[in-house]
Structure 1
């Protein structure tokens, strides 16, 4: 599988909030009075972001304590952290936290703050965070990635411009990129095994079907991204930024061949790459006489499968969207994407392209044969 193709995967949902666990352990000393003192200590401590995060444009920073557990001179407060990245988030993001305190004379003092059990870490939980700003991008990096952030911000700005040209609908026109220090750190941020991301350049987080999601982030795999050519990096960032731009129009109804194919179409649009150059795995299969019998199913885009099959699915999805743009026009492709998020594809297709799914499949198969056979 080509590095550029391996670097693009479906947008991944990133859980933002976990239900607080019930308080357990010893009662909070003298009852409500002790608990009130602990809550007050957390409120005073969390009144503003820590000094170490001064370079990050944080707004609406607040901890809401949901439960308190006291163990002698130590106490543990479960809390929900809420914050916004100013200029990028339309609503607060959230994170479940555990704040530890100690009794210091007559008062309680916060000694540590960490993700609550089962919750995902924030970037600053992995060490000092460096910040790079582009005209339309904010890049947060950790683990020694400082030297790479300015280049990624410039690439993200170019991606925003390319996506805006391909997706004329209203969107924020800006993107947040997270650059963890290692593949393992990336996996920790996303809550999945590192093996899921090995060889990938980046993924996108977000909540499909929930409208504009304040937590849409492009998360770079620093190891996979470093292996890409300059063009590969551009394609990866544009693909992932397309997912950010189209999030509000994407729902569980949207077929993955359409959402992933559209993101690839936006990324390859205007590059001059031929079908065989951009989809070599699918080209080899078609030349062997293995013409796909159907558009790629959602399952074809999953993790852990055959990488050649995954590359063929992405190639087929891209060429389906390229076919629609070439034959019916780019505006028709955008309208189909929007309608497919609101209604079944079986009704969205006749309303935009005047054909049914079977007719689209036949046209796609003919297009594959024309574009991929020597």
Structure 2
């Protein structure tokens, strides 16, 4: 412990800045290196605790540093900013990262394996294709509205009406516009196919993951949510409790308390927006279909719904599901939906 060295690495595409100090604060490394020389430079250093800001490539470089015998730790940028005392440049960023990695209150992101990153890549591309599909549908509606053609809302109406509009010769649609809309509709079908293939990939991942199958027993958790959670947090070792996981997701109330008077507001919406969205959508489906079920969770959800309304009940169930999921992963136990 007396020889522990701390190092901050400011990641980039081609030029990387490094700053390292020993446990007494003496600077032993302070320079910038090219991408080709980064691993060689660190391979010649004694074992260090290396801090990295969470960004594109952080997990790849963390794995490379670990293979060299270093202790690589990834942290959110919000933990680095308070320690930047000078102007904003790469070397000063490396100094701030080096300071942050030494602090006991800094929360670190577990280094993801290539397999977990690959699963998240499917999620990111599906999310991109869904947004592209929505934009394309809106564009098709707008183009047709220019020619006085409108139809009901919803994706089903688009897929039902557009082929009929393209085939109808009496609607006065110019041939050029007809050709453009035909290309748009073909692209829309391609996007649908890609989204469906991504969702089929989630099913395959679930079958190969006991943990994903375990948390899918929780009401409101499907293959998409299960695979995203497993790929993002693993077994949740980085959280001390289920509430920590819910807080990291931003599903707990925001506090503004002073003078001994607690004030709780809306949820914080901190952390991973994608996971929070999936949990909320799943909770919405569960609350909507609660019906007259008499199991303990349904009874609890019905009481919250009656007292606090639909939106608060949905968020409350999402937070409860997050805590349940953490417990299942951390304790490696099976979910049991007890009757009331």
**TM band (smaller chain):** under 0.3
Higher strand residue share: 1
TM normalised by structure 2 equals 0.27
TM-score, normalised to structure 1's length? 0.25
Per chain length, whose mean CA-contact separation is higher, i.e. which structure has more relative contact order (CA < 8 Å, sep 6+)?
A: 1
Which protein is richer in helix relative to its size?
A: 2
Larger Rg belongs to: 2
